[in-house]
Amino acid sequence: METIILKIDGISCMGCVRTLTGVLGALPGVASVEVSKEAGAATINFDPAQTGAAAFKAAVEGAGYDLA
Ligand SMILES: [Cu+2]
């Protein structure tokens, strides 16, 4: 397992936190996700054999957010 911290623009409320936690957590290979509104970031624990930064970027952008 590896851990990555993604800075994400536009996390303004708990709804954003839930949305991002949902889309990132649904990706195959993601073991856990913690999204922080205060930090404007998602901490993702994942299996690098199954997923990675490109998939996370696509999921974040697909949900309507941008990486900071
Ligand atoms: Cu929101």
Question: What pLDDT is attached to residue 35?
Answer: 98
Please name which of 51, 68, 61 lies closest in space to residue 6, comparing C-alpha atoms.
68
Averaged confidence pLDDT in the chain: 98
Going from the Cα of 59 to the center of ligand 1, the distance in angstroms, rounded, reads 16
Phi, psi of 67 (to 5 degrees): -70, 140
- What are the residues facing 42 on neighbouring strands? 6, 35
Question: What pLDDT is attached to residue 52?
Answer: 97
> Please, what are the domains in the chain?
2-67 (3.30.70.100)
Question: What pLDDT is attached to residue 64?
Answer: 97
Going from the Cα of 61 to the center of ligand 1, the distance in angstroms, rounded, reads 14
CA distances from 40 to 13, 50, 65 (A): 10, 25, 11
Instruction: For residue 3, name the pLDDT band (cuts at 50, 70, 90).
Output: very high
Going from the Cα of 46 to the center of ligand 1, the distance in angstroms, rounded, reads 24
pLDDT tens digit sequence for 22-50: 999 999 999 999 999 999 999 999 999 99
